[in-house]
Amino acid sequence: MKLLAISDTYIPLDVMQAGLAGLETLGVEIEVRRWEHPTLVGLQEANLAIENGGPQAVALPDDVTRNVADFDLLVVQFAPIASSFIEAATGLKVIAVLRGGTENVDVEFATGRGISVLNTPGRNARAVAECALGMILAEIRNIARAHERLKNGQWQRSFPNSDSIVELYGKTGGLVGYGAVGRLVAGYLEAFGSRIVAFDPYCQGDPAPAELVDLDTLMKESDVVSIHARLTDETHHLIGRPQIRLMKPSAVLVNTARSGLLDEEALVRALSERRIMGAAMDVFDTEPLPSDHPLLKLDNVTITPHLAGSTMDAFHNSPKIMAGHLAKMLRGEQPLPIVNGIRVES
């Protein structure tokens, strides 16, 4: 059995090889090819184009796609796998994606060809959760703003929220989405002594330490609203103007998930009109953020350039995690993170 892995700037060739090497003991022959970008920004721009336009929006070079009919298994992170690639890969049985989302793969076409598509749920959950907590603290305690002023020679201790700076102890944290990231954030907030409520209609099992509530209740009662849902057609603009209007004037909104979950225009208006106290954002409708974007003019928002999930631990552990899933598959074991319902017989 032959496996083709496509490395990128975040998961370089040597890391990909080392992470998947354990499969060789199961008789898998591994080849790793590079999808090159001169900078991380180039890869991020390509990834954004794929998220917006689908896997056909960016073409892979010929040296990556040559002889793909020879392979049974494909492992990728951000590389686009369009229908043309899948059609050429006549022996392909499995496409394994080294992240939670599969936007870079034409899953519908793969499903029609009987190809199983796997993802890597939770691979960067801890990275995103830790960043979300940092964003919460940075916003309510003015850490980033104070740092910026001090670097510019200003000893500033007064900010838009100075009359209502809160501690997390005893406050309510609302988590929109209660999967791997949301549950980790819940644990962190619990350690701070916060009350935790969560909205997730797909949540299964014991939600402790959170209390499951409907979305309107969460928006009304929370002092901090942090978004951790998966972006689908159903959840697009899940948090819009009606939901933001329900928030306390003293509350803050944090998004380290996907920009499409939040109506960015509605948020900018709410911040501009001081309807809510502040926000912390790591994702945006247009990336990189344009120099004239209204968020850059506001004094009650903390912004970072889409880095919540970007830790070396998250990237470097992904091939190892997927190797474990593929080893289970080859041994005929379950469960597996199959996203399109097609099981592969060992």
pLDDT for res 258 = 93
Confidence of residue 121 (pLDDT cuts 50, 70, 90): confident
Contact 99, 29 (CB under 8 A): no
Tell me what the mean pLDDT of segment 122-140 comes to. Answer: 96
Which among 29, 45, 130, 287 is annotated as catalytic?
287
279 phi and psi, to 5 degrees? -150, 160
Maximal CA-CA distance, the chain: 66
Taking alpha carbons only, the member of 102, 131, 122, 46 closest to residue 310 is 131
Structure tokens at 255: 């998004």
pLDDT for res 101 = 85
Round to whole Å and give the CA distance between 174 and 185: 10
Round to whole Å and give the CA distance between 109 and 90: 13
CB atoms within 10 A of CB 315: 23
Asked if the peptide bond before residue 305 counts as cis, ω within 30 degrees of 0, the response is no
Confidence of residue 228 (pLDDT cuts 50, 70, 90): very high
pLDDT for res 165 = 80
DSSP percent split of the chain into helix, strand, coil, nearest 5: 40, 15, 45
Report the chain's terminal Cα–Cα distance, integer Å.
11
Buried b (16+ CB within 10 A) or exposed e, 260-274: bbbbbebbbebbeee
Q: How does DSSP classify residue 119?
A: -
In this model, does residue 92 exceed pLDDT 90?
Answer: yes
Q: What is the dihedral of CA 135, 8, 327, 108, to 10 degrees?
A: 90
Which numeric CATH code is attached to 2-123+310-330?
3.40.50.720
Taking alpha carbons only, the member of 308, 311, 310, 312 closest to residue 138 is 308
The domain spans of the chain are 2-123+310-330, 125-303
CB atoms within 10 A of CB 41: 12
pLDDT for res 61 = 96
Confidence of residue 164 (pLDDT cuts 50, 70, 90): confident
CB atoms within 10 A of CB 308: 22
- Tell me whether domains 2-123+310-330 and 125-303 share a fold: yes
Which among 33, 123, 183, 306 is annotated as catalytic?
306
Q: How does DSSP classify residue 257?
A: S
Contact 271, 298 (CB under 8 A): yes
Multiple choice CATH, 125-303, 3.40.50.720, 3.40.50.300, 2.30.42.10, 3.40.50.10490: 3.40.50.720
pLDDT for res 52 = 83
In this model, does residue 346 exceed pLDDT 70?
Answer: no
Least reliable range by pLDDT among 15-19, 39-43, 139-143, 272-276: 39-43
pLDDT one-digit tens code per residue, 56-85 = 999 999 999 999 999 999 999 999 999 999
Which residues make Cβ contacts (< 8 Å) with residue 147, sequence separation at least 6?
none
Taking alpha carbons only, the member of 148, 163, 162, 144 closest to residue 301 is 144
Which residues make Cβ contacts (< 8 Å) with residue 123, sequence separation at least 6?
98, 99, 100, 314, 317, 318, 321
Contact 104, 74 (CB under 8 A): no
In this model, does residue 163 exceed pLDDT 90?
Answer: no
List, in sequence order, every residue forming a beta bridge with 199; answer none if it has no partner. 176
Q: Is 287 a catalytic residue?
A: yes
H and E: helices and strands count for the chain: 12, 12
Contact 326, 5 (CB under 8 A): no
**Residue 96 region, left (φ>0) first, then alpha (ψ -120 to 50), else beta?**
beta
